[in-house]
Chains A and B, each alone.
Chain A
Amino acid sequence: DIQMTQSPSSLSAFVGDRVTITCRASQGISNSLAWYQQEPGKAPKFLLYAASRLESGVPPRFSGSGSGTHYTLTISRLQPEDFATYYCQQYYSTPLTFGGGTKVEIK
């Protein structure tokens, strides 16, 4: 099974800050990497896939990059609605696996 490790597990930031979240896979996943956002008490929302492709309707302040085993999600200018928990997911092979999550909190 492919293990996904996210860092940090939590962070505090101001509105307007640039935020970067990292996701590492236990083996190469050839950009088969997606990101999801989950607000408290709500279902997750699909943000990006193929490491860097934005899902329709997702604001362009979200971007993804990476290759091999190392991937990042960047929020260029944090907005109040972006305070949430973010999960990476690999879909290179089954079982499909998620990272442990990164909680983005207001500073």
Chain B
Amino acid sequence: QVQLVESGGGVVQPGRSLRLSCAASGFTFSSYGMHWVRQAPGKGLEWVALMSYDETNKYYGDSVKGRFTISRDNSKNTLYLQMDSLRAADTAVYYCVKAPDYDPYLFEYWGQGTLVTVSS
């Protein structure tokens, strides 16, 4: 079955960087678009970034554009999110999400999330 396991979260000071990882298993990772979606404590869902299955296309939400970078290593079945210039407003649970085969802009399977806290 599909498994997505996020790691790399923690407490970081404003302005610093952090890299999240998502280890995928149970499906052919290189064939699917992958997303990061976040949820601030007690708040709703916010889409962060999408990377196409073949790494040719990347899309970002407005609030992270220019600061976050999504990438993937299909040989390692791993998705990454490099987060630079972090702000308090970036504090959230970050979910790694697999898209379905019929549309890369949907969120089919979700990991359990990793918490990022930006605080001095």
Contact = CB atoms under 8 A, between A and B. Distances in A.
Contacts, number: 56
Given A94-B50, A94-B59, A95-B59, A49 B103 contact: yes
B113 A43 contact: yes
Interface string B62-100: 100000000000000000000000000000000100001
A44 B100 CA distance: 15
A87 B110 CA distance: 14
A89 interface: yes
What is the size category of the interface that chain B forms with chain A? 20 to 34
A89 B107 CA distance: 10
Contact of B107 (A34, A94, A97): A34
| Chain A binding surface, main DSSP class | loop
Interface in A41-81: 43-46, 49, 55
Interface residues of A, number: 22
Contacts of B61: 95-96
Nearest to A53: B102
A34 B106 contact: yes
A78 to B, nearest CB: 22
Contact of B45 (A32, A44, A55, A94): A44
Nearest to B113: A43
5 contacts: A1-B62, A46-B107, A89-B106, A99-B44, A101-B45
